[in-house]
Structure 1
Amino acid sequence: MELIKKARQSQWYGVGLLLVVTALVWTAFKLLCPTTFGAPDQMLTYLQTGLIYAVGGCGLYFIVVMGLWDFSIGSVLVLSSLVSIGFAQRFGVFGLVVAPVVCGALLGAANGLAYIKLRIPSLIVTVGLSLIYESLSVFAADAYGTRLSDAYKMFGSYPHNLILALLAFGLCTFILSYTKLGTYVNAIGANEATAKNMGVNVDRYKFFAFVLCSLFVGIMSILYIGYGTAQTPMTGMLSQSLNFKPLMGTFFGLAFKRYGHPVASIVIGEFIISMMFAGFVALGMPVTINNVVTGATLLAIVCMTVKRVNGAVVK
């Protein structure tokens, strides 16, 4: 019993538990679909998809850990992808990489400024702004087109996508572990009133968290457009459907953050979700059942890993 208790106190316990879950998910679907699931080349494809959404999940982590929401990331992803297409045509690889990151950071600054100045819930602010960003994506598509040139698809496959994703994960880890921003977003999430009493400028760090969130979505868009090679505008709040896969990875990071490895948890969590989606497709299940089972599994993992005291979540 003492050995089990010490293991749970280890900073690697959460990562180890997620790896066990990964192995169990793979084994279950491999037994059910031995010929259509889990081959080495298929596993690389699952990882490729997981990397894309894990980068967005890392950005969203800065927001959600403070108890805020950003429901504009789908529209930011679409607009950044279209901007990437346009600037790649004019400035080559430099435009392909830099333009969506700058676009994401600027949109994040707009989100943060609107949230701080308007003093209304972040969910309402970001949903409203997403409608504006969706409209801007229509203009971007008209100006630049919707298809990425074959010459600039390098970030849609290995090794370029892996290198870019690892750089993003490294940046997120560095910010969370070695900067005031990383320290203060966790402090604000734990107890905002206490953080204020300690002299933390809460509004400033919330603003920078919004900037970082959309900046990482800008990085995600480079991988996303490289993998899909085309992006059409999404209006009428259709971009909201793109919010949830990064958010699911973020939930894994929050559930396991007490072990000190939120980024690793986000990456492994997105890989698990990617495997599950592929497994359900291999089983021939409709998308609706796919989403129900995936969501239920996510809730089960979060409930099992987040301690509750008198109904309150202990972070």
Structure 2
Amino acid sequence: MKKLKQSQYYGIGLLVLMLVVFWAVFKVLAPTTFGSPEKLATYMKSALIYAVGGCGLYFICVMGPFDMSVGANIVLSSIIACNASEKFGYAGLIIAPLICGTIIGLINGIVYIKLHISSLIVTCALSLIYEAFSVYATNGKNVILSADYRAFGDYPVNLILALIAYLLCAFILKYTKIGTYTYAIGSNEVVAKNMGVNVPKYKIVAFTLAGFFFGLQAILTISFGTSMTSASNLSSMSRNFTPLMGTFFGLAFKKYGHPVIAIVIGEMIIQLMFNGFVALGAPTTIQNVVTGVALLVIVALTTKPVKGLVVK
């Protein structure tokens, strides 16, 4: 049993078991309203989208900081994608949000490093600015993606784009200097700095990479939802937490060597929970309860307490 727990596939097997158990429980409790093949396909569409954002957040969170501008980034990138598609077709739909998301990530990283203050404060403040841009870009109205450019909202094109994102994330983490230094900084920033790693540079790179993945998520989001409303007063913040939960699954199971797979399966588990409670007749606000409880549980499991440490 000890050897089994040390296996690199133990964590993935445990996640798959959790996925099957959650499906089975909700299927038994709500056999007619939950878990049919068609509904599972719909659940997985949402999971694929959030997992792309979770992959982006992983680059940041594994180092220690957080990015609370995810929702604002996705809203603004989605709006720009929709507007660009009207002029340039699919080229605008793909290229515009990638550029927008990457630039926002770069700005986040530079401001965070230059101001030397908490990433939470920096990204929350910048979210207000990005939301203001989204209002300006739409004049406070909804933008609707033309029916001619919604291929990324359904199978198999959405699955292909998501797989490209997952493979890219896994490749960067495992086979590049960026991935190596990302883990080194996350493990011990002081030691990494003493070994010659340019910590500020690679933190900026992490935020920039995250922004690129949020641009990918924006493509899937606007294609799946077909419309986007501008945000204000940090209303975009609600979009932060579902990708973040997938990231925490990746952090919890990174010791098994497959964080990207853990992120994807984790998002699938979260979607089963969301839709399972809805199938049981619970109000849609139960999603907020599930999100809050899941975040607390996952953070508790992924944080190693230190004896005598003062909680801040």
TM bracket, shorter-chain basis = over 0.9
**Over residues 40-76 of structure 1, what are the superposed CA-to-partner deviations in whole Å (9 max), with x where a residue is unaligned?**
1111111111000000000000111111010011000
- 1:185 and 2:182 are equivalent in the alignment: yes
- 1:66 and 2:63 are equivalent in the alignment: yes
Letter in 2 for 1:54: A
Report the equivalent of 1:105.
Answer: 102
Match of 1:27 among 15, 20, 24: 24
Report the equivalent of 2:124.
Answer: 127
Report the secondary structure of 2:232's partner residue.
Answer: coil
Percent identical among aligned pairs is 58
Structure 1 distance, partners of 2:305, 2:280, is: 36
Deviation at 1:296? Answer: 2.6
Matches for 1:220-259 after TM superposition, within 5 Å: 220-259=217-256
Structure 1 distance, partners of 2:279, 2:239, is: 22
Letter in 1 for 2:137: A
Letter in 2 for 1:253: G
Structure 1 distance, partners of 2:97, 2:34, is: 34
Structure 1 distance, partners of 2:235, 2:142, is: 19
Structure 2 unaligned residues grouped into runs of 5+? none
Structure 1 unaligned residues grouped into runs of 5+? none
Report the secondary structure of 2:8's partner residue.
Answer: coil
Deviation at 1:143? Answer: 10
Is the 8 Å Cα contact of residues 252 and 302 (structure 1) preserved in structure 2? no
- 1:80 and 2:68 are equivalent in the alignment: no
Is the 8 Å Cα contact of residues 86 and 144 (structure 1) preserved in structure 2? no
Letter in 2 for 1:67: G
- 1:296 and 2:308 are equivalent in the alignment: no
Structure 1 distance, partners of 2:235, 2:140, is: 21
Query: Which runs of 4 or more aligned residues in structure 1 lie more than 3 Å from their structure 2 counterparts after TM superposition?
Result: 142-145, 287-290, 297-312
Structure 1 distance, partners of 2:32, 2:308, is: 45
Q: Quick check: 191-200 or 303-312, which moved more? A: 303-312
Report the equivalent of 2:52.
Answer: 55
Is the 8 Å Cα contact of residues 60 and 210 (structure 2) preserved in structure 1? yes
Structure 2 distance, partners of 1:199, 1:304, is: 32
- 1:167 and 2:153 are equivalent in the alignment: no
Deviation at 1:292? Answer: 2.3
Alignment: residue pair count:
309
Deviation at 1:139? Answer: 1.7
Letter in 1 for 2:165: A
Report the equivalent of 1:158.
Answer: 155
Q: TM-score, normalised by structure 2?
A: 0.95
Per the alignment, do residues 302 and 75 of structure 1 end up closer, same or farther by CA in structure 2, a change over 3 Å counting?
closer
Deviation at 1:287? Answer: 3.5
Structure 2 distance, partners of 1:55, 1:76, is: 14
Match of 2:276 among 273, 279, 295: 279
Per the alignment, do residues 231 and 276 of structure 1 end up closer, same or farther by CA in structure 2, a change over 3 Å counting?
same
Is the 8 Å Cα contact of residues 276 and 294 (structure 1) preserved in structure 2? no
Deviation at 1:307? Answer: 5.7
- 1:140 and 2:140 are equivalent in the alignment: no
Is the 8 Å Cα contact of residues 72 and 240 (structure 1) preserved in structure 2? yes
Structure 2 distance, partners of 1:311, 1:9, is: 29
Structure 1 distance, partners of 2:158, 2:82, is: 17
Report the equivalent of 1:196.
Answer: 193
Deviation at 1:138? Answer: 1.1
Report the secondary structure of 1:38's partner residue.
Answer: coil
Structure 1 distance, partners of 2:133, 2:306, is: 45
Structure 2 distance, partners of 1:142, 1:305, is: 42
Is the 8 Å Cα contact of residues 63 and 185 (structure 2) preserved in structure 1? yes
Report the equivalent of 1:12.
Answer: 9
Is the 8 Å Cα contact of residues 131 and 236 (structure 1) preserved in structure 2? yes
